[in-house]
Amino acid sequence: MTNFIKTAATLDNIDDIRKEIDELISKIYHGNRRANDIIFQGLRDINDLKLHITAINNQSDKIIEVIKKEILEQS
């Protein structure tokens, strides 16, 4: 950024200024894109966890029913 400020002070190098601005925009774009990829992967992971939790809850309900049946049969 300091190079940009120094270059901007002398308007002799307009092409250099444009190049530096383009590089900064590119870095911001790629940084944002990477951040979005990380966020979406996190959301996919959360969704997978929800599915696993639901499956575990369904299994625990079945186990409880089997135990209840056994208790009733023993009574």
Q: What is the pLDDT of residues 26-67, one digit of tens each?
A: 999 999 999 999 999 999 999 999 999 998 888 888 888 889
In this predicted model, which residue has the larger pLDDT, 23 or 6?
23
Distance CA 23, CA 70 (A): 71
Contact yes or no for 7/23 (Cβ under 8 A): no
Interior/surface letters 27-60, b for 16+ CB within 10 angstroms, e for the rest: eeeeeeeeeeeeeeeeeeeeeeeeeeeeeeeeee
DSSP class of residue 12 equals T
Q: What is the pTM of this model?
A: 0.54
Given CA atoms 66, 69, 73, 75 in this order, what sign does their dihedral have? positive
